[in-house]
Amino acid sequence: MSQTLLIVESPTKAKTIGKYLGSEYIVKASVGHVRDLPANELGIEIEGDHFEPCYVPLKGKGKIIAELKKAARKADQILLAPDPDREGEAIAWHIAHELGEKKPIHRVLFHEVTKSAIARALQEPLAIDINKVNAQQSRRILDRMVGYKISPLLWKTVRRGLSAGRVQSVAVRMVCDREAEIKAFIPVEYWSITTTLEGSVPPPFEARLHQIDGEKAEVSDQQTADQIVSDLQSSSCKISKIEQKERQRRPTPPFITSKLQQEAARKLGFSAKKTMMVSQQLYEGIELGSSGPVGLITYMRTDSVRVADSAVAECRDCIATQFGKDYLPVKPQSYRNKNASQDAHEAIRPTSVGHIPQEIESYLNRDQFRLYSLIWKRFVASQMNPARYYQTTVSIMAGDRYQLRAVGRRQLFDGFLVVYEEGRDNNGDDKAEETELPALNEGEILRLNEILPKQHFTQPPPRFTESTLVKELEEKGIGRPSTYASIMSTIQDRGYVELQEKRFYPTDLGELVTDLLKKTFPDILNVSFTARMEADLDKVEEGGRDWQALLADFYRPFAALLDTALVTMRDAKKAGEEVTDEICEKCGANMVVKWGRNGRFIACPNYPECKNTKDLGANGDENGGVELPADAGKCPECDSPLKLRNGRYGRFISCSNYPECKYTSSVGTGVACPQEGCGGELVEKKSRKGKTFYACNRYPKCNYATWDKPYPLSCPSCEFPFLVEKKRRGEGDKVLRCPQKGCNYETKVPEIAGKKIDL
């Protein structure tokens, strides 16, 4: 009996596919790539304008390659079925080279791991798409040249172990540029004036000052605000105009990769890396009891919002059955891609909407269930009728000068919102518009109950979250669906940025490296240049650009900059070794500023004979740290003031009389450890990856710890000794919740003197 060898990337996928195929098929997994450029050298032969990559088998893949070759010798036909993207095409090409077989080798493509999709793919075998392969080779060679040529310069001028990347360095620059904007931002004062009015029909409603003398109201100081309040108090308020319009809100398209990563970050708190890991599991197959492994979603790396007609038809049947015909459009909802090149894949959707999340929940772990539910709801909602609401805008004249405006909204039909509503990256200020106004009439005189002037200050642009950084990269055309997750991980792993309370902060090291690269390699860190390179790689995939010419066009000016950089790049090692007034208590030398893995620190210049080092304080002063107020107490050992310092493992408190007094303590929270009989206090700590957590100060005797920031407020519902800070899914508001299982108590973060408490 003849046999066909089918090679996929993942053992899980191999298991799922093996269930669908008969004994005439042997299904094997390559477990990802089988060969790549060598790890310890450039691995690219450059002759003029020609670039020849020198691939070698990956370390540890010898046994897998041998098994694939053995199976290939026995097979009559070989089918290569890695993932349906550039990376998968390159893996198929590398496998074919390693097998070295002369018998037929074909490529098969399927975008979902289902029996019908696999059957169709097997009936339509293809040749390996060399344009896709060359696009992947181009990206790999570009990244290798940037990394292997620039990184040694950073080793020489900053410290060993640093790296540069064609896309990662641009992402770090974006974080650094945003931080510079925040530091340079000058707040501008402005005032809002909100009134509470009441007509002949209750209830009272709010209206804001909208215009002054026919121009947009701009109130810049308290004196002006007070004058307006005085004028309003003596004015008659009359409705001058009422506008009523029926509006629609259309559903959002089904997920593409970037949008899935953004929404999973907003609603589930997932990192981009975690989103891709869990979606890979859903794609490759989940054991559904007696049904065996089933691929639950389509391929999760895609730029396309296109959906197969058969999937749309099934979805429409589901909507009619589950929600009723009022929710079903007369015609299917359709969505357009930004460009034709994105149409190779479908959007991310359930392979069958018949796999209703609640019905298969018992077969999924918590993360799988939450992500699958998000994908299922978004897809079903995308084929539903729009939500309809009635919007009322009321213009009110207060005297002759001031126009007030009230906006209300009344929902007429919930439409797709019955299933799903997209989250937001910011708090938004349109909730007032979602309230319904009372019955009002033009010409009606209103009673003025209250005037509330409120001072505001313009805010700097917010720091990036993973969600907003992915969004920014996508909008600027930097990176592709398969790269966003690795970018988020790499820039943190390299120590160039830190994620604090889910927002990216550049480290001293990240800002230094970015500054050096901006001055020495301006194109490499140029957002527009990087975006054009991504577009050129797309053209290679489409067959409209020669990959060798693309590499040559990049390398010629790059090589010239490298030669210049060897001479001109600033040596941060030498520049950073400024002498301080701090005296080394071990040998008496003046200590110097140096760069390390965790940023700047001060060290004895007599290294290696003297290995004394100290933290450089949060404000960069040689003695380190910020002195705490007197009410924070004194050093228990020498009665000197205390200082708050930043160290390798986060913030800590120490004696200001260091090194004479070496007293240190963790930053306390004022929250007692909840473990019975412990008597300890929860203190601030930092994990190896730089993430803040809170643990008992009696560790290792007590190992209680929590990621959530504790507040010294007992729960009024169950009397648990403290509450923890949480962020509402899909909203910017922080709330306090009880951490006790089974208790659902929640309240707003309390305010003192108009400012939210911040421990």
Cβ-in-10-Å burial (0-12, 13-18, 19+) of 562 comes to: middle
Residues 581 and 705 in one domain: yes
Residues 521 and 482 in one domain: yes
Active site residues: 299
Q: Which of 64, 63, 383, 440 is nearest to 243 (CA)?
A: 440
Share of residues in the chain with pLDDT > 90 (%): 62
The angle subtended at Cα 352 by Cα 350 and Cα 356, nearest 5°, is 80
| Local confidence band at 750 (pLDDT 50, 70, 90 cut-offs) | low
Domain end: 399, 434, 457, which one?
457
> Is residue 728 included in any domain, yes or no?
no
Residues 276 and 162 in one domain: no
Residues 167 and 112 in one domain: no
Q: In this structure, is the dihedral angle defined by the CA atoms of residues 167, 173, 175 and 181, taken in order, positive or negative? A: negative
Q: Is the pLDDT of residue 558 over 90?
A: yes
Residues 515 and 617 in one domain: no
pLDDT given for residue 631 in this prediction: 61
CATH of the domain at 392: 2.70.20.10
For 641, which DSSP code?
A: B
Torsion of CA 634, 638, 644, 649, to 10 degrees: -130
Range of the domain at 518: 146-184+466-568
State both tokens at 200. 């002949």
Residues 167 and 117 in one domain: no
Residues 688 and 704 in one domain: yes
pLDDT given for residue 344 in this prediction: 63
The lowest-confidence range among 251-265, 396-410, 622-636 is 622-636
Domain end: 568, 587, 602, which one?
568
In this structure, the number of other CB atoms found within 10 A of the CB of residue 454 comes to 10
> Is residue 133 included in any domain, yes or no?
no
CATH of the domain at 48: 3.40.50.140
> Is residue 25 included in any domain, yes or no?
yes
> Is residue 758 included in any domain, yes or no?
no
Residues 83 and 9 in one domain: yes
* Polymer length in residues for the chain: 759
pLDDT tens digits along 242-252: 999 999 999 99
> Is residue 714 included in any domain, yes or no?
no
Look over the chain and give the mean of its residue pLDDT values, rounded to a whole number: 88
Residues 609 and 680 in one domain: yes
Mean pLDDT of 406-435: 79
For 59, which DSSP code?
A: T
Our count of domains for the chain comes to 5
Q: Is the pLDDT of residue 751 over 60?
A: no
> Is residue 715 included in any domain, yes or no?
no
Mean pLDDT of 438-466: 94
> Is residue 752 included in any domain, yes or no?
no
State both tokens at 707. 């990621």
Residues 246 and 280 in one domain: no
pLDDT tens digits along 162-200: 889 999 999 999 999 999 999 999 999 999 999 999 999
> Is residue 723 included in any domain, yes or no?
no
Residues 341 and 438 in one domain: no
Domain end: 365, 382, 399, which one?
382
| Local confidence band at 685 (pLDDT 50, 70, 90 cut-offs) | confident
* Pairing outcome for strands 237-249 and 215-216: unpaired
Residues 688 and 583 in one domain: yes
| Local confidence band at 655 (pLDDT 50, 70, 90 cut-offs) | confident
